[in-house]
Structures are given as structure tokens and as C-alpha cells.
Amino acid sequence: MRNKFKFLFVLLLIVALAFTACKQVEEPVVEEPVVAEEPAVEEETVVEEPAEVEEPAEEEAVVEEPAEEEVVEEVAAGPYDDIVPAQNIVFWHQHSGAREESLQEIVATFNETNEWGITVTAENQGGYGDIFNKMLPILNTADVPDIVVAYQNQTATYQLADSMTDLNPLVSSAKWGLTDEEIADFFPGFYNQDVFPTFDSQRLGFPPNRSMEVMYYNMDWIEELGFDGPPTTPAEFKEMACAATANPFSGATAEGSMGYKLSIDASRFASWTFAFGGDVFDYDNDEYSYNSDAAVEAMNFLQDLFNEGCAQLVTESYGDQTDFGNGTLLFTVGSSSGIPYYESAVADGAAFDFSVAAIPHTTPEPVMNIYGASVSVPKSTPERELAAWLFIKYYTSTEVQAKWAIASNYFPVRLSVAEGLGDYFIENPIYKAAFDMLEYGVGEP
């Protein structure tokens, strides 16, 4: 470009000189008596004519044209661009019952329709803890599954051995990844939850679904106790829990009466800490913290409930769900994904009206704990990693997400899917009540 300007400058200079020369030549012609000036006329043909024929400068400009086209910035090839995806991969998950059936249908459709000939085998490997324990001894070996369900803390543990694939290159790949429009369609809080600052902001998982900690409550029992609605503050929660303990529900199908049962769980601890305005992670020092003022206040509150005889610990798996369904337990706190199971427990038990609400809080607005296991890709070979990503991309696509949200009762991770759930919301008002609280959600660290 600089040569172009140089050429134009020279060209203009030449024209100016030529124009000046022409003016000098015309003056002698006008003054006829001055014959001695004739030689100047000859100079007209000699002076700047050759300079005007500096055609090579024109050629220089022509040569520059292709150079301008070459300046177009090319997108660098990604690390997986030349890879052919593996043909057979394995997916370890925890889903059972109707959810597993729906997942197998999704997998079967992918196997039949994907253009690369990839076959995914989805295997139930037990619960989250079972999968975690099976993963630890096989990290960085050929025996790892290609896709594994894992909570963020589990994935972080795996990555201490540098054993997980950073999905950022795949997500951003011009050939295999997501468009800007597709990325914008994900709920930001869900989408960013698998990016780990402690591991150089690597994306060590991808969200296929999310759920939220909610408070389940027996609407009929609350009305019997003389209250207008569910509690919104810890003080109201305690008042109602203690009232329920002293006044059994008239429709109960089993003996006993209790206000609240607490299960020992990391998410439960986080949920109550959030409700008291705190967090379980110290972002300034990049470490988990369980002794903040809010955490201590929340635990003291729960301890007081136990001391008053208005709360107990859950002593068997899903025992609080069973007691709630029988009408012997007023409140439980658990995942919104458990709504179908609560519906079954209530239908098989005391058959009362129930719903979900925010965990009672000291903050001006609710602070809801959003969490969920993601799907991660253990390190293996580029071919296996690429095939795993292509299934994950399909699994989280709009069409599949719509089916999965309805089948699993999890929250979808894409905005466009949520917008199309109108009929499902009408048919499932409790799910809608939970969904409406997403605006108050924060991601569990």
C-alpha cells in the first residue's frame, strides 16, 4: 500500500512538472521576436516526456494488486481439524428407569443418523459416587470411558492428574464447534459452570441439563396449621416446622409428625449458606470455605431446629421423600429434578396438594443453588475425543434438549428450548414454579 502512495505521489509530481514545462514553452511562442528562445521549444519534447513514460511504476501498482488479496486473514486450523472421529465410544452415566430409556432413545437416534458412522454405547455405572470410584484407578489409561457424567468437584479431582480433555478447542473449532449464535442460546450461568479458573480456564465439561435446590412443602398441612403460604424467612420456617411437629397432618397415612428432615449433603450445606447470604467458596483465596459467618449462622439455625425437636436427620436413602409422601413430614429440601418422584410418593401416599418454593432466606431476594452433573471427556486419543464431542454437541442441540427436558424433568440448558415449554408448564405447574425461580439462581462452586 505504501508503494501505491509513492507511485501516486511521483505521478502527480510528474504531471505538475509537465504542466509547468508546458507553461514555460507557451511563453516563448507568444513573444515571437525573441527567436533565441527557440531552443526552449525543443526542450519541450526532451524535457519531461520520458518522465511521463514511467510505465514501470504502473506495473508496480499492478503487481501490488494480488498482494492486497493475500492480506486476507486466514483462520488457523484447529488441533482436531484433520482428525477422523472414532467409530465406537462409550458413555458412562447414572440415569435409570424412564430417564435411562429416554437417554437410550437419544443415543439410538444419534447412532442411526450421524454422518460419521459413530456408535455410542451408553452404560449405567451406578450412582455418581460409584462412577467416581470407578474412574479414579483408570485415569490416563486406555480403559477410560469416552464420556463420563461428573459433578464439577469430581472433574476437578480427575484433572489433578491432568486426565481430562479441555473442550475449548472443540467448542470454538470452525469445523466441529458451535457458532456464536448457538453459544448465545445457552443460559450463561449453565454454560460457564464447567470453565475452571484453577486450571487455566479450561472447559472440562459441558452441561446437558441442570437442576436447582428447592423447598418442597405440604400445602394442605400448612393451611391446617393456619398459615397463608410457605415460609420465606428462617424464622417463619422454624415456626411452621415446630407447629407441624406438634400437630400431625389430618390426612397422613403413617404415624409420626416432623417439621423438617435434613440429609447430609454438600449441596444442602451450600443451599442453606446461600440462603443466609454467604458462599462456600472464597474467590479471593481460591479455596472452599465452610466457616464463613453466613455458613456458621445457617448451621446454628439448623442446630437450633434439632435442639427444639422440630428437625431430624434423614436416616435412609430418600427417606425424607417417603415421609413427605405419607404426610408425616412438612418440609424437605432437594433437587427440582426430583419433582416426578415426589409426585409419585404423594400419589401413593396421602394424596395432598404440594408445591415447591425458595429456601427461606435472610437476603432481600432468594438465592437459589443451581447445580448439576455435566458430561466430561477423559483424555484418550484425538479420534475418541472428537467422537465424544460430536455426540455431546448432538445431546445438547435444541431438538434433543426439548425431548430430554420433558423426559428427565431437568431444566434445559438452552433458552430456545425453555421458550417452547409452554404446554409442558401448563401440564406441570410444580415444574413451572421451580423454573420461575431460575432468575435467582447461582451456580454451586
- Residues 119, 96: contact at Cβ < 8 Å? no
* Together in a domain, 127 and 43: no
Of 316, 337, 370, which closes a domain?
Answer: 370
Residue 108 has what pLDDT?
99
* Together in a domain, 340 and 382: no
Comparing 4-13, 111-120, 194-203, 213-222, the range with the smallest average pLDDT is 4-13
Is 75 part of a structural domain of the chain? no
Q: What residues make up the domain containing 290?
A: 212-370
Query: How many CB atoms are closer than 10 A to CB 32?
Result: 8
Is 384 part of a structural domain of the chain? yes
Q: Measure the CA–CA gap between 441 and 355, rounded to whole angstroms.
A: 18
* Together in a domain, 415 and 342: no
Is 103 part of a structural domain of the chain? yes
Is 76 part of a structural domain of the chain? no
* Together in a domain, 179 and 44: no
Share of the chain above pLDDT 70, in %: 83
What confidence category does residue 287 fall into, taking pLDDT thresholds of 50, 70 and 90?
confident
Is 441 part of a structural domain of the chain? no
Comparing 41-55, 90-104, 167-181, 429-443, the range with the smallest average pLDDT is 41-55
* Together in a domain, 168 and 246: no
CA 92 from centre of chain: 20
Q: What is the pLDDT of residues 231-253, one digit of tens each?
A: 999 999 999 999 999 999 999 99
* Together in a domain, 106 and 180: yes
Q: What is the mean pLDDT of residues 261-282?
A: 94
Name residues whose C-beta falls within 8 Å of residue 422's C-beta, 6 or more positions apart in sequence.
none
Comparing 58-72, 227-241, 244-258, 302-316, the range with the smallest average pLDDT is 58-72
Residue 362 has what pLDDT?
98
Q: Say how many Å lie between the first and final Cα of the chain, rounded.
A: 53
Beta strands in 300-342 (DSSP E): 311-313, 329-335
Q: How far is CA 290 from CA 153, 207, 280, 295, 413, in A?
A: 15, 26, 6, 6, 29
Q: What is the mean pLDDT of residues 283-309?
A: 93
Q: Measure the CA–CA gap between 61 and 2, rounded to whole angstroms.
A: 10
Of 337, 353, 370, which closes a domain?
Answer: 370
Is 231 part of a structural domain of the chain? yes
Of 318, 348, 370, which closes a domain?
Answer: 370
Whether the predicted pLDDT of 13 surpasses 70: no
* Together in a domain, 97 and 196: yes
The mean pLDDT value of the chain amounts to 87
Q: What is the mean pLDDT of residues 388-393?
A: 99
Is 136 part of a structural domain of the chain? yes
* Together in a domain, 253 and 307: yes
How many structural domains does the chain have? 3
Is 79 part of a structural domain of the chain? no
Q: What is the mean pLDDT of residues 169-192?
A: 96
* Together in a domain, 327 and 221: yes
* Together in a domain, 217 and 355: yes
* Together in a domain, 206 and 65: no
For residue 271, what is the domain's CATH number? 3.40.190.10
Name residues whose C-beta falls within 8 Å of residue 107's C-beta, 6 or more positions apart in sequence.
91, 120, 121, 122, 391
* Together in a domain, 398 and 419: yes
What confidence category does residue 288 fall into, taking pLDDT thresholds of 50, 70 and 90?
confident
Q: Measure the CA–CA gap between 203 and 389, rounded to whole angstroms.
A: 12
Q: 439, 334, 396: which is closest to 182 by C-alpha?
A: 396
Share of the chain above pLDDT 90, in %: 76
